[in-house]
Amino acid sequence: MTETIDFTGDENIGVYTRVFEDHAFVPLNAPEEYVSVLEKRLGVEVVKTTIQGSSIIGSLLVGNSNGMITSGLATAEESEILKSYGNVMFLSRTMNAAGNIILANDELAVVHPGTPERVVEKISDFLDVPVLMMTIGGIPTVGMAAVATNTGILVSPGITAQELKELEEIAGELPIGTGTVNMGSSLVGTGLLANSKSFIAGSSTSGYELGRIEDVFGFV
């Protein structure tokens, strides 16, 4: 079965797509082959849409089984589409790239360290998880520096010992491991889609990188 794919020639599939346990959101121009691979590989219903008129859905949407968080600039039509698949929280217009600044699963969330505390509290209440404000490998856009599912967390290999310790304390027994995608990119969120069923990586991801992903998420 396909383990790697590109999005209309771009290996950074995580920028364009957001995957949850039962559904995934992709741009309107997503090729049918791309949609079919996601459906079969990840066991999801694929929904075509835009967010604030943009195709970079992976950068603008995040969440867990309790709901989705997205840009406050989403249109009424886009918002209704999202709401038909779950509860939705909208970020302010000044810091709205939810998929970039938030990493989340059903156990925890990590947010950009510059996120206002009142917003952090809202995120925690909405997703019903404890929230850490931190960088990963010094990268504040934590949603692109890591990928979190309910079976594991793959983080940038640049993660510091202190960052790892903080993440481990909140993650409990959930496996955490380092890895890269697309021949060495440490921004793993840009090139990896995953849920508890399976994963698919950007087209340039090497066999070694795929093996590491399988190991961290327990697919071996």
Task: Answer yes or no: is pLDDT of 47 > 70.
Answer: yes
Q: Is 105 helix (H, G, I), strand (E, B) or coil?
A: coil
Q: Residues 179-217: pLDDT tens digits?
A: 999 999 999 999 999 999 999 999 999 999 999 999 999
Percent above pLDDT 90 for the chain: 96
User: In Å, what is the CA distance from 131 to each residue of 54, 148, 168, 199?
Assistant: 28, 13, 13, 25
CB 205 within 8 A of CB 142: no
End-to-end CA distance of the chain: 14
Q: Residues 51-62: pLDDT tens digits?
A: 999 999 999 999
Band of the pLDDT at 92, cuts 50, 70, 90? Answer: confident
Q: Which helix (H) or strand (E) holds 39?
A: helix 32-42
So what's the pLDDT on residue 94?
A: 74
Task: Answer yes or no: is pLDDT of 135 > 70.
Answer: yes
Which residues touch 122 (CB under 8 Å, ≥6 apart)?
89
Task: Answer yes or no: is pLDDT of 132 > 90.
Answer: yes
Domains of the chain: 4-217 (3.75.10.10)
The token pair at 110 is 């990590």
User: Which of 101, 219, 123, 208 has its CA nearest to residue 157?
Assistant: 208
